[in-house]
Amino acid sequence: DLVQTLVPGARFQQEGNSTQVFLRGVGSNADFANIEQGVSFNFNGIYVPREATSVPLYDVAQLEALPGPQGTLYGRSAIGGTVNVAFARPTQESESKLVAEAGNFALAHITAVVNAPLSSDLAVRGAVDYTFRHGVMKSGADSKNDFGGRLSLLYKPHSDLSVYLWGYTVQKSGHTPNLVNKGFDPATGGYNENKFLTSDPWNDQRTGALAALAPFGQAVAPDQTYDNWAAGAQIDLTVGSNLTLSYIPGYLYLKSDIRNYWLGALPARQSAEYREATQELRLSGSSSNLKWLAGLYAYRTVNSGSAVFLYGFPNAFYISHVLRNRLQGIAVFGQATYSVTDALRVTLGGRYGVDDRNGHGITPLDQVSTYDFSKKYNRFDYKVGVEYDVAPNAMAYVTYQTGYQPGTYNEFQSTPANSAEVKPATLKAITAGIKTRLLNNTLQINDEFFYYDYRNLQLQAINVNAILNPIFNAAKVSIPGNQLDILYQPDSDNRINLSVSYVHARNKKFVTPLGTSFNGLNPPYAADWTISGGASHDFHLKSGYIRAQADARYESQWWADYAHSAGVRQKPYVKANASLTYFTDDGRWSLGAWIKNIGNVPVIAASAAAGIPGPGTAYLEEPRTFGARFTANF
């Protein structure tokens, strides 16, 4: 929610145990095993699959969202952008932190952090996070009983060597959300795009007069298994004058199994399992006018997954059944920035990679026949950029770069007349803008123009009445736009921010093999306008101060699938949040109250076409929530 509020054009939305991430209209909205996310998500430099992005983020040092292609440094699945999360590292200071929250829906949340130096060159940091909450839906769905734990070590025996080791686990046993019906008006028995079955959009039950619309029984809170373990390291060694060698290995295991979740009136089950190993070696250096890095990267991911409709009934059927999907690859990359003058800098970068995909499963077309797919892809992406300081506090820049997403497959056996391959997606992007710091650094105004030219963009949509939901290549999708960010902080007590994003994402050439045209339509979750802003003010008391803070986000209409199906349109909306917090002067503790989604606005988090009665079914973002928060630093 925080990133979505701060970054215009970004959407972070829950779909079961996955987090769909869209940046400037590009992402992936089907969480099947043969589909990778279109925006790369990284923990401490380690790529994580979409089911691992839904873990709690606590004790975080930095979170950044980089829109547009980031393939030069981040490789595959960064065609729409990259989200980087850096966990807080151990330090040489003894400290303990506590965050405790309570709120509606019986919310109880606690985060505890302990940092301890074990010696002058070794420190350890441990953190735990636990959240309990009753379900926000009528059935009890969308509840939390989630535990996360993390341990890290930092070893610095001398200035030339740093060894950072970390590992975490996340276990979830709450109930994932159900989808509710959208687009049908029970009062008239006809289509109404913005209608839900009851006055409470989060009511997933069909009782009383609606019982006839529940042919498979009443929705229940889904059960789940969620087991996630990950570990990684970063070893930095100074090997010469201004030369640093870095090694970044990582490993992740994840198993997710959601049983008896409801797509409106249809019970379903979805499972996923991942084993992933990554290795990265970097050499970086600098001189008076040159900064550069070069690296090698290798990865191997083996995963599987299935999605079953009418789960628990004799006529249950798979809409996805991937028994094994293996994607592995290797890449060499580099980037350098050269200062031509004190005011002019030029950046060049490139990456050459080979990705090898192999898939095996049972086709949903007849629920019996198996399919196999195997293909290698290779690609060279590059980046060229120029920065120029037009004034002491103003920098203009222009960048041209390319991006790529490996090909994949639809879940049937290829024939000479009907190929199962989904071609690789490619991107050519140009960005240009200016960054300024004005009024003695109290005012920042940044403005960026961008134009993205996607070829063979991989698009998916879910229709709950369809046996097979194919992945299509949209031959051409263009996304021109502009993003304006303003931050004004005249003093330490006041802060105002405003961001305005215009993204004109449109399909230019998108005709399916059967001749259906989607030309001129927005891709999924691509609002033309996104405006977000916030303000805070500190009221000083005799002892301590009170910070009042509020923020809001507006989005124009968008659709949750590329077909603009009935029932999946999100009407324009505004969501607002606010908080009031007392802080002590020494920062030792704070106590405050917060409220999110003040207007209780129903916003689609993910959606599927059709259903009973349909025409759409939708996950929803959370309703109005409020609570109190206490923090302490020891």
Count how many Cα atoms sit within 13 Å of the Cα of residue 241 in the half-sphere of its side chain. 2
Q: Percent of the chain scored above 70 by pLDDT?
A: 99
CB 170 within 8 A of CB 146: yes
How would you classify the pairing of strands 144-158 and 122-133?
antiparallel
* pLDDT value of position 17: 82
Mean pLDDT for the stretch of residues 520-536: 94
Residue-wise pLDDT tens digits, 109-121: 999 999 999 999 9
* pLDDT value of position 4: 63
* pLDDT value of position 7: 65
Residue-wise pLDDT tens digits, 541-559: 999 999 999 999 999 999 9
CA distances to 131, 223, 335, 350 from 299, in Å: 33, 32, 20, 19
**Which residue is listed with tokens 């105002």?**
496
Mean pLDDT for the stretch of residues 426-440: 96
* pLDDT value of position 545: 98
Backbone dihedral region for residue 179 (phi beyond 0: left; psi -120 to 50: alpha; all else: beta): beta
* pLDDT value of position 616: 96
* pLDDT value of position 8: 63
Mean pLDDT for the stretch of residues 309-336: 96
* pLDDT value of position 79: 86
Residue-wise pLDDT tens digits, 584-617: 999 999 999 999 999 999 999 988 898 999 999 9
233-266 CB burial, b ≥16 within 10 A, e <16: bbbbeeeeeeebebebbbbbebebbbbbbbbbbb
Which helix or strand (DSSP H or E) is residue 244 part of? Answer: strand 243-263
Residue-wise pLDDT tens digits, 375-402: 999 999 999 999 999 999 999 999 999 9
Residue 469: pLDDT band by 50, 70, 90 thresholds? Answer: confident
Residue 2: pLDDT band by 50, 70, 90 thresholds? Answer: low
In terms of C-beta distances under 8 Å and separation of at least 24 residues, what long-range contacts does 3-6 make, across chains too?
3/63, 3/65, 3/83, 4/553, 5/532, 5/534, 5/551, 5/553, 5/577, 6/497, 6/499, 6/532
Burial class (CB in 10 A: 0-12, 13-18, 19+), 366: exposed
Q: Which of 113, 106, 160, 172 is nearest to 135 (CA)?
A: 106
Residue-wise pLDDT tens digits, 5-55: 666 667 887 888 888 888 887 887 777 899 888 888 899 999 998 889 889
Residues with Cβ within 8 Å of residue 542, at least 6 apart in sequence: none
* pLDDT value of position 125: 98
End-to-end alpha carbon distance in the chain: 28
Structure letter (DSSP) for residue 179: B
Separation between Cα atoms, residue 74 and residue 82, nearest integer Å: 8
Token pair for 399: 């960048």
What average pLDDT is seen over the chain? 94
The pTM score is 0.93
CB 150 within 8 A of CB 208: no
Q: Does the pLDDT value for residue 1 go beyond 70?
A: no
Residue 412: pLDDT band by 50, 70, 90 thresholds? Answer: very high
Q: Which of 468, 32, 461 is nearest to 272 (CA)?
A: 32
Structure letter (DSSP) for residue 222: P
CB 323 within 8 A of CB 61: no
CA dihedral 597, 602, 608, 610 (to 10 degrees): 170
* pLDDT value of position 27: 81
